[in-house]
């Protein structure tokens, strides 16, 4: 157990230390601009990569007063799009309803290759909206297709999905705390 814990800790610390702080700052500043202009940030992802955005939507809405919606939180909408069209449309379908000029879409994916996330980011870009990728190096994919598709990308430098998910929550808390500090 000690060796496992040491390895886990070492990998997580390495991933934190290798975060691109300039990209984190740019993401935060984009979100501050979005707030100042009264727009909305949409968070999307699957599995653990939907749980973190859901958590963050609550934090950002309550503590920062930023209009933040996690598109996995509307279960009837998600399942209706999946059932009536295709699972790859669960986020794009909602964005077609809600997205307006000036909004930001943040896609979370450990691999960076989730078709429904890619489809939504592609749609948002086609509408002229700014897009952000929060990904990982799962199976050494270096953020996958999402990194190249999004306007701005931040990749957790670990191949462990669990540590990618750990880091995504840390990233979102860093963004929240940085914005809170800037607003004060």
Q: Is the pLDDT of residue 154 over 70?
A: yes
* Burial of 177 (C-beta count, 10 Å sphere; 0-12/13-18/19+): middle
pLDDT at 137: 82
Residue-level pLDDT at 72:
95
Instruction: Output the average pLDDT for the chain.
Output: 95
| Section 87-98 average pLDDT | 97
* pLDDT above 70 as % of the chain: 98
Query: What DSSP line would sit under 116-184, residue for residue?
Result: HHHHHHHHHHHTT-EEEEEEE-GGG-TTHHHHHHSSEEEEES-S-HHHHHHHHHHHHHHHHHHHHHHH-
Amino acid 52: pLDDT: 93
Residue 15 or residue 139, greater confidence: 15
Q: Where are the domains of the chain?
A: 2-183
Residue range 132-141: mean pLDDT, rounded: 83
pLDDT of residue 141: 65
At CA 134, angle to CA 129 and CA 139, rounded to 5?
Answer: 135
Give residue 34's pLDDT.
97
CATH of domain 2-183: 3.40.50.10490
In the predicted structure, residue 139 carries a pLDDT above the cut 80:
no
* pLDDT value of position 184: 84
Report pLDDT for 1.
Answer: 85
Residue 144 CA from chain centroid, whole number: 14
What pLDDT shows up at residue 43? 98
Q: What is the pLDDT, as a whole number, of residue 101?
A: 97
pLDDT in tens, 157-179: 998 999 999 999 999 999 999 99
Q: What is the pLDDT of residues 20-72, one digit of tens each?
A: 999 999 999 999 999 999 999 999 999 988 999 999 999 999 999 999 999 99
Task: Give the C-alpha separation, 156 to 137, whole Å.
Answer: 6
């Amino acid at each position: 157990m000690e060796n496992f814990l040491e390895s886990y800790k070492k990998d997580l610390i390495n991933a934190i230390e290798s975060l691109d702080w300039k990209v984190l700052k740019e993401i935060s500043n984009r979100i501050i601009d979005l707030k100042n202009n009264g727009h909305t940030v949409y968070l999307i992802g699957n599995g653990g990569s939907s749980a973190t955005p859901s958590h963050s939507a609550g934090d950002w809405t309550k503590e920062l007063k930023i209009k933040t919606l996690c598109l996995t939180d509307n279960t009837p909408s998600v399942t209706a799009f999946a059932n009536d069209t295709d699972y790859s449309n669960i986020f794009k379908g909602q964005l077609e309803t809600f997205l307006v000029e000036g909004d930001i879409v943040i896609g979370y994916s450990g691999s960076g290759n989730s078709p429904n996330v890619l489809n939504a980011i592609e749609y948002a870009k086609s509408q002229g909206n700014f897009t952000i990728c929060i990904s990982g190096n799962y199976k050494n994919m270096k953020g996958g297709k999402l990194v190249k598709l999004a306007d701005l990308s931040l990749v957790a430098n670990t191949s462990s999905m669990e540590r990618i998910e750990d880091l995504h929550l840390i990233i979102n808390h860093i963004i929240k705390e940085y914005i809170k500090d800037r607003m004060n």
